Amino acid sequence: MDDMLVERDNILYTKYTDQPYTGPVFSLYPNKQLKTEITYKDGKIDGQSKFFYDNGQIKWNKSYKNGFLDGLSISYRSNGKIESEKNYKEGKENGSWKIYDSNDQLKLEKTFKLGIQDGIYRTFYNNGQVEEERLYVNGKLNGAWKSYRPDGQLKLEKNYKEDFQDGLYKSYYNNGQPEEERNYFEGIENGTWKSFFNDGKIQEEKIYDNGILISKKEFDYYSNGQILKEQNYNKSEKNPFCCYEKNGDFKDYYSNGQIRSEGFYKDGMLEGSFKQYFSNGQIMIEKKYNQEKRDGIYRTFYNNGQVEEERLYANGKLNGAWKSYRSDGQLKLEKNYKDDKLQGIFREFFSNGQLEWEKTYKDGVLDGIWKSFFNNGKPEAEKIYKDGSLISKKEFDYYPNGRLKSEESFMDNELHGFFREYFSNGQLRIEGEYKNGKQIGEWKFYDTDGNLELEGNY
């Protein structure tokens, strides 16, 4: 701002007067290039205001009236290309807004009416095709909303009324086949919903009434197009708020005829054994339920038949050992739970069988010793936790020949406790003690043969 001008209460005055300023105001970059050119009338920005890059290219050209944005505002990239065009009236968005990419391609256009979105809204792909278009009336979605793929093919269409989905919703696969059809009334699911496979065959049909699922039918097919499964579900009589329930055995299959899963429902709840299989017939998952809650052993398997993971549940909560294995049967990790919370020792192992780390939990939080190791079995660090908080830790470092190089103790992320450093031949080099990050007590320094060279006190 010019040295002869001063701003008071958002009004620009000629310095040392009560006269509002009228005229241009300029500012410069350090390289003396023009930075801004702003016009004032009666102390307020009025007319065209320009902002420039330090290379001299215009950055913004804004139109003001009585201190408010009013009219067309254009922003430019540093190469002179237009970045956006926006219209204002009395400081509010009004009329068309357009945004362009660096290749001058229109990316977005929308319209406003005195600060409220009103009219068409469109976004575009880099190739110029419309990506999405919506319609706003007085700030709310009203009318069709359509989405397209880059080749112009319709991807989705739905309707809105006063910001709520209303009427038919359709989505399509990229081959043009319908993917889903839904019906809404004032934003709530109502009427028939259908989903399809990408070959046009129906996959599922649902009936909604005022947001509540009343019934549904599921379809499945073999690869030759023959129907494999058609399953009906009905609204529960015992619990009308549960939309449907199953009863009895159920099975479904892979297209090669192998069983994919099998289990049992009672009053709409999983009960007893449930199994899933790989397409080669090998077991994938086995678990047990009691009134829809996991209860008993839970196992997952690799497709070679080896156990991948096993857990134990009681009344829906993890209770007991959890173990994971590698595909060759080697133990990968083991931990314990009590009422869904980690409890006791948690261990994980390297692929060579060496212990990677072990830590202790109490009621789901770290409590006790945490040890980590290198894959050659040598200790890497040792930490002490209490009620989830780190109390202290000890770290180890090694030479490439495997000999211990140093051991350090920490508390509150500061060196605290005994410190030792060794030569690569294994001889002690330095020993001493830290307290709160500072050396204390007697410190000793040795040569490579183990002879004391120097000692001192801190």
What stretch of H or E contains 339? none
pTM: 0.52
User: pLDDT at position 236, please?
Assistant: 62
User: pLDDT at position 358, please?
Assistant: 95
Domains of the chain, start order: 1-80 (no CATH), 246-342 (3.90.930.1)
Residues 6+ apart with CB under 8 A from 351: 326, 330
How many CA within 13 A on the CB side of residue 145?
A: 19
Calpha distance 195→172 (Å, rounded)? 10
Cβ–Cβ < 8 Å for 50, 58: yes
pLDDT digits over 31-54, tens only?
999 999 999 999 999 999 999 999
User: pLDDT at position 265, please?
Assistant: 77
Cβ–Cβ < 8 Å for 396, 373: no
**φ, ψ at 266 (rounded to 5°):** -135, 120
The conformational region for residue 115 under phi > 0 = left, psi -120 to 50 = alpha, else beta, is left
Residues 6+ apart with CB under 8 A from 136: 110, 111, 117, 118, 119, 120, 121, 142
Calpha distance 260→125 (Å, rounded)? 41
pLDDT lower than 50: segments of the chain: none
User: pLDDT at position 235, please?
Assistant: 67
Amino acid letter for position 181: E
Residue with the two structure tokens 């809404």 = 184
Adjacent-strand bridge partners of 334: 323, 347
